[in-house]
Amino acid sequence: MRIDADPSKAWEMKSFKHDRILTTCKFGPSGDALFAGSFDGKIYRWATESGERSVVGSHVTWISAILPGPANRIYSADFQGNVHAWELGKPEAAWTIERAHPGWLKAFAISPDGTLLATGARDGVVRLWKAADGTPVKELKGHARDVYSAAFHPDGRSLASGDYDGKILHWDVASGTLVRTLEAPSLVTRDPDFLCDVGGVRALAFDGKGGRLAASGLRDAKSNTFCPGAPSAIVFDWETGKPMTTVKVKDEKIDGAMTALRFLADGTLVGCAEGQSYGAISFWKPGQAEPFHTINSQSLYEVDVRPDGMALVGAAFTSIGSGGNGRGKGDYVPNGGTLRLFGLFEKPAAPKPPPKTPAPKKQG
Amino acid sequence: MSYGCGGHDHALSRRQMLGLLAGAAGGLLAPNVAQALRSKQRQVLMIWLDGGMSQLESWDPKPGTDHGGPFRAIPSSVPGVHVSELLPFSAKRVHQLAIVRSMQTKDNSHSIGVGRIQRGDPVNRGVEYPYMGSAIARLLDKGDSGLPPYVVIKPGSSGFLASDAGFLGGRYGALALGDGRPPIHLQGGISTELEEARQSLRRAADARYRQGRGDADVDAWEGCYDSALKLMRRKELFDESTVTRSERERYGSHPLGRHLLQARRLLEAGVLFVKVSSYHWDTHADNFAMHQELMPQIDRPFAALIDDLDQRGMLENVVVLLMSEFGRTPKINQRWGRDHWPEAWSLALAGAGIKRGVVVGKTTPDGSAVAENPYDIGHVFHTVFRAVGIKPEETFYKHNGQALAIARDDMGPIAEVLA
């Protein structure tokens, strides 16, 4: 019997804990494994059935992004601008690009055919690399500030990259030329009282057919210290480049940036955002600003959808020991992370336990 | 033995204190030690990063450790000393600096911490102690610049910060220049002569008001006007056309850069104590993206300032202090922020009376505690006082017949940084 995805019935199937914060998470291509990058500089693989964890590879610093590719390849990027390619089961990197960018590599995308990687960082340059061996292909110059996000169009011919200024640049991949600029100015807050702008296009995602592009971040930031504001995403009509819908979250306590976006096969948009105390995964129907369903969680940094569309994973924060201002009472150890795996369908009813066999009467 | 002593005696020497306590002294006539310093007037620049700069993203990086954050440590101009990669310009001036990595203070809240730190965390004597700027304005000779001794450059509005002076009284408060702009008197078309006439009338009214009332409010009021009048005679200090393009570029166009450049100009003109305040360093969320944006705003102008003071020979006379009210937690919270951490943090000193190229103190490998040579803010007050030629153990404030230590009498200077 075929079951359709129904996010409103989402339920937590499993969770996998880690003793350091998990920055990013992805399903493997077959959906039977989860990958995550961590503050400890490692990329991990969890087998979803058994929960067995293995280390895919290590970086010199925090992992900023990972991308599972075809043929058991995993690509990873870090906060110092390095990129590695891994082959599962081999401890040494298949290839390495040292300092692909000078510093924190924030934007990382793979082309639909798996042959190209796109990277972006604080230097404002988008770079294309051959996924096979890491050789440079093109440099795309046009952003004035940090590149935060990138996504290939499903047709593979276009690339979108989002920046700190709230601009989304549309590139022609073959020629490397800038086609046009989409504007998302509400995703950056400029205030003369702030020490710096707050926001940027933190995530980009195309829907399956490539008709819509969603760009997310934070609107109406109130400070550059706690960075509270309204997590939000703007959905653009890709053909016209015009904004169609601006989506928001339901709970005002979720006041951090919306840091990840995905589309489900039916066009439902999924986004995750952080809050001061907790975060949420929200689901929006096309054209709707209000989410039709929300899953509350600890703050979340990324979500991904299983290739079959029936499950979703989130990289969530996990509090460990004492925290807050000054030294508290508990152990002073780093906070951790949890991969939370949700089924996007109604939870199957638990099989009824077998009827109890009445205990034999004692013989008097 | 040294002490500051001017027309209004709030400071006196230990000998005078003993004399006073013995009932021997009537008027406090003391030699003005500031006279001895006048030939080489010491000045102070305090750079205050309000909210708390992260020590781990600045002077005490711990890459690769549990709480170290994602950034690299880079070598500095002193062999073996590394600082965060977010300080590339300052890294090349570490040979001019004294970095203290073992600050250990008490308050983890801004509301208590800011005041207590800026007043030197005095022992409770039932009085409100002055901020460092007011203390220096009181304890050192003001020099002959004719300029207000204590100027604060800060974002926002201008005004006169009488409360900085605590028990010293309003006249030792700070003239605040909002966004580094001159007082409003200098911005309009009013002539100096007309302003003098207006001030004469105001003084007469003040004198009448003063009769039968306490002096403190009128002192503060007059101090504010007097400061503005003094600056009216030095309009060139705010003349943007005298700043070269190269200077602007080296300091940067953001507020902190512009304010540090203005601070240098005021110090050149002879202002005794300049404090440059920058707000919103309280990075509870997105600490790493924010520090990427914030650190260049102090790194580049701080390096430019050290260069300029050095090239002008002013590092011989000016003590530079760069600090916050505390550091930031090693532990990273759910918003990838760092919270308040008084337990182990860093500051930097430079200039007059300060050793160059030294790093003092050490934190534990995870950065959560001081491992060697803990210092409190009282030690910093002792150090700055010493660097400008004041001996805290021999100099006291006098307040209502009570002798008050100018710095914590249970602490001393950070000897390792004193030249």
Q: Which CATH number fits domain B36-417: 3.40.720, 3.40.50, 3.30.70, 3.30.2000?
A: 3.40.720
Q: Residue A362: pLDDT band by 50, 70, 90 thresholds?
A: low
Instruction: Pick A299's closest partner by Cβ from B108, B254, B335.
Output: B335
Residue B383 Cα distances to B375, B376, B386, angstroms = 11, 11, 5
Instruction: Pick A326's closest partner by Cβ from B279, B283, B340.
Output: B340
Q: Which domain holds residue A297?
A: 7-323+330-343
Kindly report the backbone phi and psi dihedral angles of residue A201, in degrees, each rounded to the nearest multiple of 5, phi listed first: -80, 95
For residue A145, give the DSSP letter: S
User: CB distance from A185 to chain B under 8 Å?
Assistant: no
Q: Is the Cβ pair B333, A324 closer than 8 Å?
A: yes
Residues 42-81 of B with CB under 8 A from A: 51, 63-64, 66-67, 69-72
Confidence at residue B8, expressed as pLDDT on a 0 to 100 scale = 32
In DSSP notation, A244-269 reads: EEEEE-S-TT--S-EEEEEE-TTS-E
Q: Which of A239-248, B105-114, B364-373 has the lowest mean pLDDT?
A: B105-114
When pLDDT is averaged across residues B197-201 and rounded to a whole number, the result is 82
Predicted confidence (pLDDT) at residue B231 exceeds the cutoff of 80: no
pLDDT tens for B39-82 read: 578 999 999 999 999 999 999 999 999 999 999 999 999 999 99
Q: Is the Cβ pair B333, A274 closer than 8 Å?
A: no
Q: Which amino acid is at A343?
A: G
What tokens were used for A224? Answer: 């550059």
Q: Is residue A170 part of a domain?
A: yes
Chain B hits for A61, CB-CB cut-off 8 Å, are 63-64, 70-72
In DSSP notation, A97-140 reads: ETTSSSS-EEEEEE-TTS-EEEEEETTSEEEEEETTT--EEEEE
Q: Residue B398: pLDDT band by 50, 70, 90 thresholds?
A: very high
Confidence at residue B386, expressed as pLDDT on a 0 to 100 scale = 97
Q: Is residue A362 part of a domain?
A: no
CA distance B381 to B387: 10
Question: Taking the C-alpha atoms of A347, A272, A40 and A80 in order, what is their torsion angle to the nearest 10 degrees?
Answer: 150
Å between B337 CA and nearest CA of chain A: 8
Q: Is residue A247 part of a domain?
A: yes
Q: Residue B223: pLDDT band by 50, 70, 90 thresholds?
A: low
pLDDT tens for A295-333 read: 999 999 999 999 999 999 999 999 999 889 998 877 899
Instruction: Pick A326's closest partner by Cβ from B64, B72, B342.
Output: B342
Strands A198-199 and A203-206: unpaired
pLDDT tens for A248-264 read: 999 989 999 999 999 99
When pLDDT is averaged across residues B366-394 and rounded to a whole number, the result is 97
B218 Cβ partners below 8 Å, 6+ apart?
Answer: B206, B209, B210
Q: Is residue A350 part of a domain?
A: no
pLDDT tens for B245-301 read: 999 999 999 999 999 999 999 999 999 999 999 999 999 999 999 999 999 999 999
Structural domains counted in chain A: 1
User: CB distance from B334 to chain A under 8 Å?
Assistant: yes
CATH code (residue A177): 2.130.10.10
For all residues of chain B together, what is the average pLDDT? Answer: 87
User: CB distance from A82 to chain B under 8 Å?
Assistant: no
Q: Residue B29: pLDDT band by 50, 70, 90 thresholds?
A: very low
Q: Is the Cβ pair B334, A325 closer than 8 Å?
A: no
Q: Is residue A242 part of a domain?
A: yes
pLDDT tens for A272-289 read: 999 888 999 999 999 999
Chain B hits for A194, CB-CB cut-off 8 Å, are 280
Predicted confidence (pLDDT) at residue A361 exceeds the cutoff of 80: no
CB-based burial of residue B106 (10 Å sphere; 0-12 exposed, 13-18 middle, 19+ buried)?
Answer: middle
User: CB distance from B342 to chain A under 8 Å?
Assistant: yes
CA distance A129 to B147: 61
Chain A hits for B64, CB-CB cut-off 8 Å, are 41, 60-61
Question: Taking the C-alpha atoms of B131, B137, B138 and B144 in order, what is their torsion angle to the nearest 10 degrees?
Answer: 180
Q: Is residue A354 part of a domain?
A: no
CB-based burial of residue B68 (10 Å sphere; 0-12 exposed, 13-18 middle, 19+ buried)?
Answer: buried
CA distance B342 to B369: 9
User: CB distance from A324 to chain B under 8 Å?
Assistant: yes
Q: Is the Cβ pair B293, A39 closer than 8 Å?
A: no
CA distance B164 to B174: 7
pLDDT tens for A176-227 read: 999 999 999 999 999 999 999 999 999 999 999 999 999 999 999 999 999 9
Instruction: Pick A224's closest partner by Cβ from B71, B290, B329.
Output: B290
User: CB distance from B301 to chain A under 8 Å?
Assistant: no
When pLDDT is averaged across residues A342-362 and rounded to a whole number, the result is 83
Q: Is the Cβ pair B331, A335 closer than 8 Å?
A: yes
Per-domain residue ranges for chain B? 36-417
Q: Is residue A276 part of a domain?
A: yes
Predicted confidence (pLDDT) at residue B21 exceeds the cutoff of 50: no
Which chain A residue's Cα is nearest to B297?
A195
Q: Is residue A351 part of a domain?
A: no
Is ipTM > 0.85 here?
Answer: yes
Å between A227 CA and nearest CA of chain B: 6
